[in-house]
Amino acid sequence: MKEKVVLAYSGGLDTTAIIPWLKENYDYDVVCCCIDVGQGNELDGLEERAKLSGATKLYIEDVVDEFIDDYVVPTVQANAVYENKYLLGTSFARPVIAKKLVEVARKEGAVAICHGATGKGNDQVRFELSIKALAPDLKIIAPWRCNDTWKMQSREDEIEYCKAHGIDLPFSADNSYSRDRNLWHISHEGLELEDPANEPNYDHLLVLGVSPEKAPEEGEYVTLSFEKGVPTKLNGKAMKASDIIRELNVLGGKHGVGIIDIVENRVVGMKSRGVYETPGGTILMEAHTQLEELILDRDTLAYKKLVATKFADLVYEGKWFTPLREALQAFVESTQEYVTGEVKFKLYKGNIIKAGTTSPYSLYSESLASFTTGELYDHHDAEGFINLFGLSMKVRAMKGLNNK
């Protein structure tokens, strides 16, 4: 029997061309594995396409709920955002995909896993670090880095290669955006976006919603409920987290929420420009942040911001399966014990506008915050506090050191 390789398969032109390439150069039986993280209709017709391309078997693994519950929600709880803007949509999908690829490889007795990520991107790092952490004995094949055998440099080359190997599928040679989609987001790269001087062609680009200019003239109120930092209800209706995100995607897309244009620093050292649509995720992150500011004490909230930055870096760099990510998540989970309550806001032309936050664990005290004097606060106490708090500054000034 031939040895087997598990191919991370999307059904697109790249991974279709990889099937005959693997058979030709490695003499493997190719087991295709498509991981469903919420790509929608991109999965239609995959089984027939994989078999026509020469695969011996196709797995379609539905991991949407696992993806949301075990990867997305912990990242939301951490408030992890990469470089202040990117909500990590592609990043945290890669470890769950890699985990399933390893599971299929073990089930099939495969000796290798192959992915179609390019040699310039982050995904090669994310896939391979995850595979190494979970299955260090498996060989990893990355065709785009195999300069001696992978000669294709364009879509036209790949189409011709497929035809030469008896695969005549309706692929188009037209240039389009490079996209990655899951339940959390869709990313867009390429075409006019390759030059940061160009404004994005939103009419041509957007998939999940509309630009703020084309959003309705009337805003829409939305209420989200959380229990221990986990979203549990949308507008009073109990739902699992994945369904909440589906509904929020529709609402956010309708009102032009969650569109960002960013130049980010890739792991491999270069800057890249992309437009990300994350309508539901943007709403969820903002609602969680609003609830936390009502509940967490000052020191915990401040330290959690440091943890959020490091957590985002680890996710972006593909270091999900590491002791540090696990330790940081344990800290985050401890902070979520009382993050329970309800957040109301209005969606209007790309904006998420606060409309009231409540929690049984709120640390906000109206009697303390009010301009009227309450029982717990004596204005005269502030004088001694200020004297001690600013003592070092006063001593420095007395020494005449402040003018240097």
The burial of 141, by beta-carbon neighbours within 10 Å (0-12 exposed, 13-18 middle, 19 or more buried), is given as buried
d(CA 276, CA 381): 50
* Known catalytic residue at 273: no
Q: What is the DSSP letter of 37?
A: S
**Assigned token pair, 209:** 């919603």
* C-beta atoms surrounding 33 within 10 Å: 25
Contacts by residues 122-126 (CB-CB < 8 Å, ≥ 24 positions apart):
122/90, 122/91, 122/266, 122/267, 122/268, 122/316, 122/317, 122/318, 123/90, 123/94, 125/267, 125/268, 125/317, 125/318, 126/91, 126/94, 126/95, 126/98, 126/317, 126/318
Please provide residue 137's backbone torsions phi and psi, each rounded to the nearest 5 degrees: -85, -15
**How far is C-alpha 205 from the chain's CA centre?**
19
Q: Treating both helix axes as pointing N-terminal to C-terminal, what angle do 13-26 and 155-164 enclose, rounded to 10 degrees?
A: 50
Q: Please, which residues bridge with residue 61 across strands?
A: 35
Pick the catalytic residue from 123, 130, 187, 242.
123
d(CA 334, CA 84): 24
d(CA 216, CA 298): 38
d(CA 95, CA 152): 28
* Known catalytic residue at 14: yes
Q: Which residues make Cβ contacts (< 8 Å) with residue 69, sequence separation at least 6?
A: 241, 242
* Known catalytic residue at 94: yes
d(CA 141, CA 150): 11
Pick the catalytic residue from 49, 94, 181, 273.
94
**Assigned token pair, 386:** 């200020």
Pick the catalytic residue from 70, 157, 178, 243.
178
Which amino acids are annotated catalytic? 14, 94, 123, 178
